[in-house]
Structure 1
Amino acid sequence: MRRRHFLSRTAGMAGAAALGLTGCGSGEAADRNVTLKVLAASYGKSVGSSIVDQWHTAIRAFEKKHPAITIDLELVPIGEIERTLARRVRSGQAPDIAQSYVFADYAGAHQLYGAEELFSIPAQADFITSFARAGEVDFTQYGIPFLASTPRLFYNKRLFERAGISGPPTSWSALHEAAVALKASGVRTPYGLQFGPEAAEDEAMAWMLAAGGGCASPSGYDFAREENVEALSWVRSRLVAPGLAGSDPARFSRTPAYAAFLKGEVGMMTAHPVLIKAAEHARLPYGHAAFPRRSGGTAPPLGLSDWLMAFRRNGHRAQCGAFLSFLYSKQVATRFAAGQGTLPVTVSGSESLRAQASQRPLWEFLDQMPKAEFPPVGRSSWPTVRDAVRRRIGQAVTADGNPRQLLDTLQATAGAAEDAADGSS
């Protein structure tokens, strides 16, 4: 994994260093007693729910090291985190640090500290390049990646063996053949296509990338490109129409898909590394492989992350920097990620995790991180577009669906969202 190069930002970094930020993780912020309000997500009984313990362990260790800084942690359900944060910001009660799926609007409104204002130069350079750049708005990083993932194709080894399949598919034709064999052997859902409303954009983008497409380019959204049409058309005709993707893939979402996989009802599906511990706990014989390109080989990996951000409103730049620098230090970041079944987003954290034999199941996920490609999370319009994808993408693969028409509709929606975002800036 390559460390980030910041030659183009030397001047900005030098200014940050002049403010004393190179010491913000080692006591510089302890000049006065401050309480930092941190708004973060809880996950209830879902896979990966141990995050509450991870937060409290990290906070206790930080407060012991920084007795002048108290962390006031508020946890809200993951499904409410975006709305809760937006409501707090509108009412003038922005927290000091918040977790969310989105950050671009707050960055565009100049409400956030840039990463160079929070981290020392070596600490900022430690972020894996692909994830750090995904957190940028106008070439400045505001979104700090957190709970990262690069999904892979999980498969049930027992079901594969029963169906006479020797290993994971390495092309779409092989994936289709495996799904046919799984169905013939009695598997209810050979491929768990997750086009339901929970996170359909992740599934859709995995297929688009594997066909050579994607939903955006540097110049804007690009839903209607021919590769995307071909990807959805293939899914519709080769998986959904012959009943190889379950009874209603347009409504099948990530959480029920994970549950069905753990029950042995799904032969293969894309999933996050958080599924590993659950599968091991269920004593499910699983494997995982890179998602295949259409014509064979490894598809570009999809990068996903929640984001932390630090708000300017309360003026606690140094204290926010101290806490975040601690949270992303090698030991803490590694323990947080390993305990949560996610991936550390720093080079040092990844190297530390890779040195642990007990974390071997995560190594191939780590290998994908430098090459990860992201949805356009740095665009203020993305939340609107993302929600449209979640509501509509399943229509493209129904019996009367029209992939080209659906993608044209999403492109029009994206254009209108961009215009609205530009008009409000």
Structure 2
Amino acid sequence: MSQTGKTKTAWSLLLLQLTAIVFTGCISEDVLHPVTSDPDAKAMITFVAAEYSTSTKPYFENVVKEFETKYPNIKVELQVINWDILDSAYNTMISRNQPPDLLLTNIYAHFAKDGLLNSMDDILSTELKDKFYPYLMDSGRMLGKQYTVPYVTTIRELYYNKDIFNEVGLTEPPKTWRDLEEDARKIKNTKQVDGFGVDLTDNEIWAYLSYFFYGAGGGWMKDGEWAINSPENVEGITFLKNLYEDGLTDPEPAVTTRDEKQRILGNGKLGMLISGNYFEAVVPHEYPGLKWAKGPIPVKEGQTPLVLGVQDVWMSFKTDHTNKEALSKFLDFIYEDGRYEEFVLREGFLPTIRTVGSKLAANDPSMKQNLDSIKSAKFYPINNPAWSAVLNATRNMGQTVLLGQMTPKQALDRLQQIALDKSR
């Protein structure tokens, strides 16, 4: 067949395919979500990010400005939303069939289960994919597909006010629950300030549940199955409740947030609390005279030391203007070493890519220690589709348990049932 004949045949086949689309209403996913190889094609990216601090929005605004200068044919629409309203904001967008092309948050599996997400395997460049620490990619994988990639991560540890510890005669942080109880009581009785800060508010309660689940030898899941109401977990939450009832925690665990408690510690009115490594960048800057130190999260006697890791991740929703090539360029741009390092240091996080992690660890022993620790960290089960429902159900649990409206066992039985129902 001549080249002209081949061209006519190709056009005829294309016209037949388009006609079939018009008359059947069946449009393939590739048509709805095209990948363009034309460098001059116009593209748009809608981008929603969580707000970590007052620096977050200016940082991303500058990133978008620089990116649009480099790629003038790609328009980026940015929204930076406070964590307190982030979930409701993006869920409203999704309910209106207007999800963002890119979302930075901490849950995703229920979206993947409902078929709302693009696979990151189709978006990430080979160069970027090879940068990530492999062990941080596992939680973003479901059914053989990579649905998310980690942007930042943290590890949680016990931070304490050294001046308070020295004044009451404490020379090291508590390592066990018994130590924690005794030290908090000594601080309370000697200094007349709160011993141990506990955050059971909407945005942090699942962290404190995790500290005492894992600290007792339990956890959210066991052998791939939900185990929220295990005897170990009940014991852990019962111990936490007893600390509160004995006056050894701050008086309002379900009201005062972690960030507020960090300031209370900085002001010398709180002995210790569990927080992320961002504490080290934020609190000493705000309270330059503060003498502080850190130690492991206390665990039940006989349990192994606990490291809890937390990740925030990128996901990409299927939209009517998805352009995977543009998204790939944008993610490459965001993760460029210098730009990404600036964000990590500015917000006090741990890097998720090896190039930046190796550089920072070489110059900062604390960073090296944190990056070594996170290799063995336990993480939330964010790749389980029921996790979103479980997380939401914990939000009012702190007040309910602390005030005795439900026993720890009753509350955890309820969470277990929600997890099982959503897993069916």
> When the two structures are superposed, what TM-score results if normalisation uses the length of structure 2?
0.83
CA distance in structure 1 between the partners assigned to 2:369 and 2:405 by the alignment: 39
Q: Is the 8 A contact 2:84 2:203 kept in 1?
A: no
Residue aligning to 1:18: none
Report deviation, 1:38: 1.1
Q: Per-residue deviation at 1:228? A: 0.9
Counterpart residue number, 1:337 = 344
Q: How does 1:109-148 map to 2 (within 5 A)?
A: 109-148=114-153
Q: Please list every run of 5 or more consecutive structure 2 residues that lacks an aligned counterpart in the other structure.
A: 1-34
Query: Which residue is equivalent to 2:48?
Result: 39
Residues in 2 aligned to 1:413 and 1:312: alpha-carbon distance in whole angstroms? 28
Work out whether 1:300 is the aligned partner of 2:306. Answer: yes
Q: 1:58 to 1:39 in 2, by over 3 A?
A: same
After superposition, residues 261-410 of structure 1 pair within 5 angstroms as: 261-281=265-285, 282-283=287-288, 284-295=290-301, 299-313=305-319, 314-357=321-364, 360-398=365-403, 402-410=407-415
Alignment partner, residue 171 of structure 1 = 176
Give the match's secondary structure for 1:161: helix
Residue type of the alignment partner of 1:334: E
Deviates more, 1:200-209 or 1:394-403: 394-403
User: Out of 148, 155, 159, which is 2:164 matched to?
Assistant: 159
Report if aligned partners of 2:215, 2:303 keep a CA contact under 8 Å in 1. Answer: no
Residue 240 in 1 paired to residue 256 in 2?
no
What amino acid is aligned across from residue 354 of structure 2 in structure 1?
A: V
Mapped partners of 1:29, 1:345: distance in 2:
31
3-state secondary structure, aligned to 2:312: strand
Distance 1:309 1:36 in 2: 13
TM-superposed CA distance for 1:61, in Å, is 3.6
* Distance across 2 between alignment mates of 1:178 and 1:190: 7
Distance 1:206 1:140 in 2: 30
Any idea what SS the aligned residue of 2:158 has?
strand
2:358 counterpart SS class: helix
Deviation at 1:404, TM superposition (A): 2.2
Aligned length in residues:
388
1:311-342 CA deviation, whole Å, 9 max, x = no partner? 23223111101111221233322221111111
* Alpha-carbon displacement from aligned partner over 1:198-225 (angstroms, at most 9, x marks no partner): 3101111012112211112353321111
Partner of 2:10: none
SS in 1 for 2:137: helix
Q: Which has the larger radius of gyration?
A: 2
| 1: CA distance, partners of 2:204 / 2:234 | 20
In structure 1, C-alpha distance between the alignment counterparts of 2:273 and 2:415, rounded to whole Å? 25
C-alpha displacement at 1:273, in angstroms? 2.1
Distance 1:78-1:247 versus aligned 2 partners, 3 A rule: closer
Three-state SS of the structure 2 residue aligned to 1:39 is strand
Give unmatched runs, 5+ long, in structure 1.
1-23, 420-425
- 1:184 and 2:189 correspond: yes
The DSSP-based 3-state class of the residue aligned with 1:170 is: coil
Encode CA deviations 1:82-110: one digit per residue, 9 max, x unaligned: 22222222322222212233222322232
Q: Which amino acid aligns with 2:43?
A: V
SS in 2 for 1:185: helix
How far, CA to CA, are the matches of 2:254 and 2:299 in structure 1? 22
RMSD over aligned Cα atoms: 2.6
Whether contact under 8 Å (2:110, 2:388) holds in the other structure is no
Q: Secondary structure at the match of 2:86?
A: helix
Q: CA deviation at 1:29?
A: 7.5
Tell me if structure 2 keeps the 8 A contact 1:229–1:403: yes
Match of 1:103 among 89, 100, 108: 108
User: One-letter code of the match for 1:407?
Assistant: L
| Partners of 2:317 and 2:252 in 1: CA distance | 42
- Determine helix, strand or coil for the equivalent of 2:314: strand
| 2:76 pairs with one of 55, 71, 80 | 71
TM-score by length of 1: 0.83
